[in-house]
């Protein structure tokens, strides 16, 4: 029989029993412990031999038995058996003689050896009215479940649904915290690949800034004195977060290795590009500027995979010469040919300005982008200052332009300035 009649009020004794359950359910924070409390309380309050809680798996639309004293990991399709029928109808089902009810599935009894005589099965509905599961109690001692039991069971089910929501919320918070800790670890690993200290190079002043939009970023940079000269790298993997951080860190490590093995600029670029084309997932690639500065000749040679514009601020003229990428983004596909490296002579006071699109494409609240011209204005106004001060001015200009608009992309700057003698 399905419950349609009015429910009798709880007696003082029943109320105390439910309150005791409420207190008991306030303590546990893990699902299994909480459900064990519920099923134990259901047996105690309703004088039942056995109880179980079935949770609704929204993915498969099945009912999953999470806790019972001797049966685990049972799944039922919604609509199958009394539990499935309750899930389907979302109504309390009180059956005094289960084997006489066509909805009863005797196979569970056959597997467990238990004999179900009578049952009370009722839906668990959370505080937002969502269906979350089914509670079932079996075999009332000395009889069958009556209207009073139905009232008690409904009060218990309401407590169970609230406790379930709380436990799931707690689990989500814990999962979120674990994720945050893992991201923090990834951030530490990524930051460890950046230069701990910038190299000292006579006659040059250099500065780098890395401000990821998330805990981990898709940008990277390198400034290192190697056998071939001063290595200058700025990389930007599409997107930000863990996946691009891995891509860009992979590119960074490959480049360092290629140069350590004595590769020249073009060879390193080609090898790393082709390696990335093989290993990066589809749709991922890295824009990268890779340059080598001969500090004695003040000559920079560079190749760029999709990274642009590259700005050469010429102090004598107070203007920027923009360069575009020499090749497509690294890892997009293997290289069949490579344009020659670009050579730039740095005069006293000249600055190589490498900025990721997190600056050029920083949007104000109206959707306008910071763009190249605003970068040039800052360079013209502050090029005589140190590269650290210049970077600070650039950031201030971006922040003033943004008028509080949030940072959506990683912001990375590498500035290399040939100092004016004396």
Partner 1 sequence: MDMQVSELGGNVTCVRLTGRLDAPGADTIDTRFTVAVVAQGRNAVIDLSGVTFVASMGIRLLIASARGLRQKGATLVLFGAQELVYTALDQAALDQIIPIVATEQQAIERLAA
Please identify, using beta-carbon distances, which residue of 216 and 387 lies nearer to partner 1.
216
Please identify, using beta-carbon distances, which residue of 149 and 236 lies nearer to partner 1.
236
- Residue 314: C-alpha distances to residues 133, 213, 323, 347 (Å): 70, 31, 13, 7
- SS3 state of residue 212: coil
Q: Which residues pair with 80 in a beta bridge?
A: none
Q: CA-CA distance, 242 to 232, in Å (whole number)?
A: 24
In whole angstroms, how close is the CB of 340 to partner 1 at the nearest point? 13
DSSP string for 388-407: HHHHHHHHHHHHHHHTT---
Q: CA-CA distance, 55 to 168, in Å (whole number)?
A: 12
Residue 361 in the binding site for partner 1 (CB under 8 A):
yes
In whole angstroms, how close is the CB of 285 to partner 1 at the nearest point? 7
- Residue 342: C-alpha distances to residues 227, 322, 323 (Å): 20, 12, 9
First-to-last alpha carbon distance for the chain, in angstroms, is: 99
Residue 235 in the binding site for partner 1 (CB under 8 A):
no
Please identify, using beta-carbon distances, which residue of 59 and 367 lies nearer to partner 1.
367
Measured from the Cβ of residue 346, the count of other Cβ atoms closer than 10 Å reads 24
In whole angstroms, how close is the CB of 190 to partner 1 at the nearest point? 20
In whole angstroms, how close is the CB of 333 to partner 1 at the nearest point? 6
In whole angstroms, how close is the CB of 22 to partner 1 at the nearest point? 46
Determine phi and psi for 395, rounding to 5 degrees.
Answer: -65, -40
In whole angstroms, how close is the CB of 407 to partner 1 at the nearest point? 13
Q: CA-CA distance, 153 to 4, in Å (whole number)?
A: 15
- SS3 state of residue 208: strand
87-106 residues in contact with partner 1 (CB under 8 A) are none
Residue 220 in the binding site for partner 1 (CB under 8 A):
no
In whole angstroms, how close is the CB of 335 to partner 1 at the nearest point? 9
Among 220, 327, 387, 412, binds partner 1 (CB under 8 A): 327
Q: Which residues pair with 124 in a beta bridge?
A: 133
Does an H or E element contain 415, and which? strand 411-418
Cβ density class 1-24: b for 16+ within 10 Å, e for less: eebeeeeeebeeebeebbeebbeb
Residue 110 in the binding site for partner 1 (CB under 8 A):
no
Residue 357 in the binding site for partner 1 (CB under 8 A):
yes
Please identify, using beta-carbon distances, which residue of 82 and 353 lies nearer to partner 1.
353
Contact string 273-312 vs partner 1 (x = CB under 8 A)? ---------xx-x-x----------------xxxxxx---
Please identify, using beta-carbon distances, which residue of 252 and 284 lies nearer to partner 1.
284
Report CA dihedral (365, 329, 310, 351) to the nearest 10 degrees.
110
Token pair of 258 as six digits: 């290629």
In whole angstroms, how close is the CB of 171 to partner 1 at the nearest point? 30
Total of chain residues touching partner 1, rule CB under 8 A: 26
Are the beta carbons of 365 and 373 closer than 8 angstroms? Answer: no
* Residues comprising the chain, all counted: 422
Among 325, 330, 344, 351, binds partner 1 (CB under 8 A): 325
Q: CA-CA distance, 353 to 351, in Å (whole number)?
A: 6
Among 15, 27, 169, 333, binds partner 1 (CB under 8 A): 333
Please identify, using beta-carbon distances, which residue of 328 and 401 lies nearer to partner 1.
328
Determine phi and psi for 231, rounding to 5 degrees.
Answer: -80, 125
Please identify, using beta-carbon distances, which residue of 50 and 240 lies nearer to partner 1.
240
Please identify, using beta-carbon distances, which residue of 133 and 329 lies nearer to partner 1.
329
Please identify, using beta-carbon distances, which residue of 315 and 332 lies nearer to partner 1.
332
In whole angstroms, how close is the CB of 334 to partner 1 at the nearest point? 10
Its sign, for the CA torsion 406, 408, 410, 413, is negative
Please identify, using beta-carbon distances, which residue of 53 and 248 lies nearer to partner 1.
248
Please identify, using beta-carbon distances, which residue of 291 and 329 lies nearer to partner 1.
329
389-408 residues in contact with partner 1 (CB under 8 A) are 408
Determine phi and psi for 37, rounding to 5 degrees.
Answer: -60, -45
Among 317, 324, 380, 384, binds partner 1 (CB under 8 A): 324
Where along the sequence are the contacts to partner 1 (CB under 8 A)?
Answer: 236, 238-239, 282-283, 285, 287, 304-309, 324-329, 332-333, 339, 357, 361, 369, 408
């Amino acid at each position: 029989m399905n419950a349609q009649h009015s429910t009798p009020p709880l007696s003082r004794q029943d109320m105390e029993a439910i309150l005791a359950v409420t207190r008991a359910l306030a303590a546990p924070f893990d699902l299994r412990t909480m459900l064990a409390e519920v099923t134990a309380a259901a047996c105690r309050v309703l004088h039942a031999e056995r109880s179980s809680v079935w949770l609704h798996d929204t993915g498969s639309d099945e009912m999953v038995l999470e806790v019972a004293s001797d049966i685990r990991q049972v799944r039922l399709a919604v609509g199958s058996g009394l539990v499935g029928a309750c899930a389907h109808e979302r109504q309390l089902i009180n059956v005094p003689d289960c084997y006489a009810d066509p909805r009863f599935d005797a196979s569970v009894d056959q597997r467990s050896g238990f004999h179900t005589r009578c049952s009370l099965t009722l839906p668990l509905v959370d505080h937002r009215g969502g269906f979350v599961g089914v509670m079932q109690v079996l075999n009332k001692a000395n009889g069958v479940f009556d209207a009073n039991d139905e009232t008690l069971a409904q009060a218990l089910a309401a407590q169970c649904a609230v406790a379930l929501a709380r436990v799931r919320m707690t689990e989500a918070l814990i999962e979120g915290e674990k994720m945050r800790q893992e991201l923090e670890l990834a951030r530490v690993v990524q930051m460890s690949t950046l230069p701990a200290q910038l190299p000292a190079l006579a006659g040059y002043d250099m500065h780098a800034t890395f401000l990821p939009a998330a805990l981990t970023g898709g940008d990277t940079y390198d400034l290192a004195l190697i056998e071939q000269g001063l290595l200058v790298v700025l990389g930007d993997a599409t997107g930000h977060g863990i996946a691009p951080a891995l891509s860009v860190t992979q590119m960074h490590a490959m480049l360092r290795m290629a140069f350590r093995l004595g590769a020249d600029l073009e060879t390193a670029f080609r090898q790393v590009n082709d390696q990335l084309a093989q290993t990066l997932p589809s749709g991922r690639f890295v824009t990268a500027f890779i340059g080598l500065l001969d500090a004695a000749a003040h000559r920079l040679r560079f190749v760029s995979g999709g990274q642009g514009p590259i700005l050469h601020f010429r102090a004598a003229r107070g203007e920027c010469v923009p360069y575009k990428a020499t090749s497509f983004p690294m890892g997009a596909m293997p290289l069949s040919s490579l344009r020659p490296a670009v050579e730039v002579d740095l005069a006293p006071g000249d600055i190589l300005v490498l900025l990721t699109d997190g600056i050029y494409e920083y949007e104000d609240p109206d959707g306008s982008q910071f763009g190249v011209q605003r970068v040039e204005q800052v360079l013209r106004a502050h090029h005589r200052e140190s590269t650290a001060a210049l970077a600070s001015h650039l950031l201030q200009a971006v922040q003033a332009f943004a008028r509080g608009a949030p940072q959506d992309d990683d912001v990375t700057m590498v500035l290399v300035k040939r100092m004016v003698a004396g």
